[in-house]
Amino acid sequence: MAMKLISIEEARSRVLAEAHPLPVESRPLAGTLGAVLAEDIVSSHSVPVFDNAGMDGYAVRAQDTVDGSPDSPSRLAIVETIPAGHVLTRVLGQNEAAKIMTGAPVPGGADAVIQSEVVEEVEGRVLVFEAVKPGRNIRRAGEDVMAGDRVLAAGSLLGPAEIGLIASLGRPAVQVHRQPRVAILSTGSELVEVDRPLGPGQIHNSNTYSLQALCRQMGVEPVVMGIVPDDYEATRRLMEAGLAHDVLVTSGGVSVGQYDFVKDVQDELGVTRRLWGVAMKPGKPLAFGVRDRSLVFGLPGNPVSVMVSFELFVRPALLRLMGYRKTTRPLYQAVISEDVTNSDGRVFVVRVRAWREDGVWHVSSTGPQGSGILRSMVGANGLAFIPGGARGVRAGEEVEFLLLREDLEEP
């Protein structure tokens, strides 16, 4: 099968057509950040469960304070102190008050809490200089959640607020789509591990590290299979083992060189190819297929190609497996700061620095754009797409880009 280049969008839709949400499991709440809920969360009780003080102060009966004024305060006997976590069983009687801490249950009889800052305490009495409105500083039972409320729907993405809300309902575990099991294998006889000195013709294996980090950034802990030399048998053995995972990601060996075995091995192992070749640079030689339920990505070897291909194809697939409906980052329009030529028919994916000025996005290339030049990936917070088959773009024209990192938005 000859390489038949397809567009980025077409390639991504072929990938996503094979990616289905993984089965559901019960997971302890603390491990659910970034997971997608697979059940509706219905509250069995109200939050708060009881009326409680919204301020440190004094629980009072509003009717006992109606005559209070700055010159002639109401004087109420302090019968008890109620710390948070304690319940006062007696009911306040006429002209009685209880000292109360934020979050403590409001005692029977009381219908307002007057904050400490505006009263005086003298010899066991609290002096109230105003008429207190009923309900003041009381957080009502159920004001956040009523028993029986559906507080979150299946399909919700779990972030810190959602996780906190579920915890407030006293739920220790929830049903979520299980995490994808991802295997990472780097191919190349020239590769050595980072803790080894380089021999002649050798380079350090960096793809394993960037791919592992890209997975971890999504909350996915991959299985690192290390390096396999460009040897057909060894590649076949390791890829076979890799196919035991939901996703196998290889880097390198997928082009048309004499020692590029990954595609042949995919074929021999029964991987049905869904695409080979994307009309983009970097990242053209991408071989993607499926075997049983496993997604198999043969990414190119160049370190930037690996990262760009992961962003555009692997990440969306992993998100879909995790149950996400939205799998791509939003695209924005930006004004580009320099001319970029692109005479070739492929989309040029340029590493850029993106920033906003007066409400307008701007992008600027981060430096030399060779597919092996990782330095220009460092400091890039976006990828800009320069259409192929034309003259490229001129400084001041608009291009589409996606924002990779929001922490680098400032110029």
Which of 29-37, 160-168, 247-255, 357-365 is the region at the interface with Mg ion (rule: CB under 5 A)?
Answer: 247-255
Q: What are the CA-CA distances from residue 91 to residues 115, 211, 339 (Å)?
A: 20, 64, 78
- Nearer to Mg ion by Cβ, of 301 and 323: the residue is 301
Nearest distance, CB of residue 253 and Mg ion, angstroms = 5
The CA distance from 8 to 282, in Å, is 12
What single-letter amino acid sits at 3?
M
DSSP SS3 for 303: helix
Paired sense of beta strands 57-60 and 52-53, if any: unpaired
Q: Which residues have C-beta within 8 Å of that of residue 14, sequence separation ≥ 6?
A: 6, 274, 275, 288
Side-chain-facing half-sphere of 321: CA atoms under 13 Å: 23
298 binds Mg ion, rule: CB under 5 A: no
> Residue 191 binds what, of ligand AMP, Mg ion, none (CB under 5 to 8 Å, by partner type)?
ligand AMP
Q: Which residues bind ligand AMP (CB under 6 A)?
A: 186, 188, 190-191, 203, 205-208, 251-253, 255, 257, 300-303, 372
Quick one: how many helices (H) and strands (E) in the chain?
7, 26
Which of 19-27, 46-54, 195-203, 298-306 is the region at the interface with Mg ion (rule: CB under 5 A)?
Answer: 298-306
Which member of 68, 242, 252, 277 binds Mg ion (CB under 5 A)?
A: 252
Paired sense of beta strands 150-152 and 41-42, if any: antiparallel
> Residue 65 binds what, of Mg ion, ligand AMP, none (CB under 5 to 8 Å, by partner type)?
none
Report the residue closest to ligand AMP, judged by CB: 301
Nearest distance, CB of residue 298 and ligand AMP, angstroms = 9
Residues 322 to 361 in contact with Mg ion, rule: CB under 5 A: none
The CA distance from 121 to 112, in Å, is 17
Q: What are the CA-CA distances from residue 197 to residues 194, 202, 204, 212 (Å)?
A: 8, 9, 9, 22
Q: Token pair for residue 51? A: 């009326």
DSSP-derived secondary structure for 153-178: -TT-B--HHHHHHHHHTT-SEEEEEP
The CA distance from 295 to 163, in Å, is 30
- Nearer to Mg ion by Cβ, of 152 and 227: the residue is 227
- Nearer to Mg ion by Cβ, of 18 and 231: the residue is 231
285 binds Mg ion, rule: CB under 5 A: no
- Nearer to Mg ion by Cβ, of 180 and 301: the residue is 301
- Nearer to ligand AMP by Cβ, of 97 and 299: the residue is 299
- Nearer to ligand AMP by Cβ, of 52 and 207: the residue is 207
282 binds Mg ion, rule: CB under 5 A: no
105 binds Mg ion, rule: CB under 5 A: no
Which of 138-146, 249-257, 317-325, 373-381 is the region at the interface with Mg ion (rule: CB under 5 A)?
Answer: 249-257
Nearest distance, CB of residue 301 and Mg ion, angstroms = 5
> Residue 300 binds what, of ligand AMP, Mg ion, none (CB under 5 to 8 Å, by partner type)?
ligand AMP
The CA distance from 74 to 127, in Å, is 6
- Residue 403's beta-bridge partner residues? 382
Q: What are the CA-CA distances from residue 99 to residues 64, 119, 128, 143 (Å)?
A: 16, 12, 13, 23
Nearest distance, CB of residue 190 and ligand AMP, angstroms = 5
182, with CB counted inside 10 A (0-12, 13-18, 19+), is: buried
Residues 162 to 201 in contact with Mg ion, rule: CB under 5 A: 188
Q: Token pair for residue 168? A: 């407030």
253 binds Mg ion, rule: CB under 5 A: yes
- Nearer to Mg ion by Cβ, of 132 and 307: the residue is 307
Residue with tokens 């020692």: 259
- Nearer to ligand AMP by Cβ, of 149 and 190: the residue is 190
- Nearer to ligand AMP by Cβ, of 313 and 401: the residue is 313
Nearest distance, CB of residue 188 and ligand AMP, angstroms = 4
Q: Which residues bind Mg ion (CB under 5 A)?
A: 188, 252-253, 301
